[in-house]
Amino acid sequence: MLGAAFYRGSADIDVHAVHRGYLRLFKARKGTIATEARVIELQRKGDAWAVTTEQDTVRAKIVINAAGAWAGEIGKLAEAIDVGVQPMKRTVCLIEQPAGRSADLWPMVFDVEERFYLKPDAGMLLLSPCDETVTDPCDAQADELDIAIAVDRVESATTLQVKRIAHKWAGLRSFVKDRSPVVGYDPYRPGFFWLAALGGYGIQTAPALSRLAASLVLGPEVDSHPVPAGVAVAALSPDQIYVRRSRAVSSPEAMRAIASIWLA
């Protein structure tokens, strides 16, 4: 028995353009970006933090831990609560469109068990086996076996025949046990703020979650945007992490609600 569902309400975003836009806004507001500056020490001194990197030491009253797959490592350096951040590798590749046909207007395709996804991307087709390989924080690289699995799955489920892999890469998605974000001050380390475990929704939820983080750090007067329905701010806090684990709470509805207001 075969079947399919087609939803017209979904949309895609240009991740590169959004990211570059954020960087431009950050620099316009006199923000400073330091690269090649791995954090090697975090110490609480008086009412402030001393953040020592491979370049120098920066002092601040508040440290926001938005280190992605490395958020757990930064938490350890700060001797903060262990929220259980786990990086997982996701593999992606680009394949050619069918010969003589344009797939630019094809919809994004998932199989019902989410064992692969396929979507148009810059004149090609982007394919992933939807892998979630547990790993340490690292510079993730695509594995040939994962690519082969993706190709086998899409060829088995469709009439596509993959002739060549044009490009391949991998990235890290970070989760805690209940797959909800962790946003809020650490219960044990004053001035240490978590903004972590965004899973595969980081760029989509960044505007909404950064608004939430800003309101918690700087006060609600910085943003009057309402919290979306279904999002319990207190439940995202690091001091609720053990309650969340024990109840095995999962909140995909909350993630969708956060993502839905990304350009509101």
Q: What is the pLDDT of residues 14-23, one digit of tens each?
A: 889 999 999 9
Q: Map tokens 């970070």 to a residue.
A: 174
Q: Please name which of 151, 197, 195 lies closest in space to residue 176, comparing C-alpha atoms.
A: 197
pLDDT at 234 over 90: no
Concatenate the DSSP letters of all residues of 201-236 into one string. Answer: -HHHHHHHHHHHHHHHHH-GGG--PPPPTT--GGGG
Q: What confidence score (pLDDT) does residue 115 get? A: 96
Q: What confidence score (pLDDT) does residue 228 get? A: 66
pLDDT digits (tens, 9 = 90+) for 74-123: 999 999 999 999 999 999 999 999 998 899 999 999 999 999 999 999 89
147 vs 242, higher pLDDT: 147
pLDDT at 259 over 70: no
pLDDT digits (tens, 9 = 90+) for 129-183: 999 999 999 999 999 999 999 999 999 999 999 999 999 999 999 999 999 999 9
d(CA 64, CA 31): 14
Q: How confident is the model at residue 264 (pLDDT cuts 50, 70, 90)?
A: very low
CA atoms lying within 13 Å on the CB side of residue 211: 17
Q: What confidence score (pLDDT) does residue 239 get? A: 87
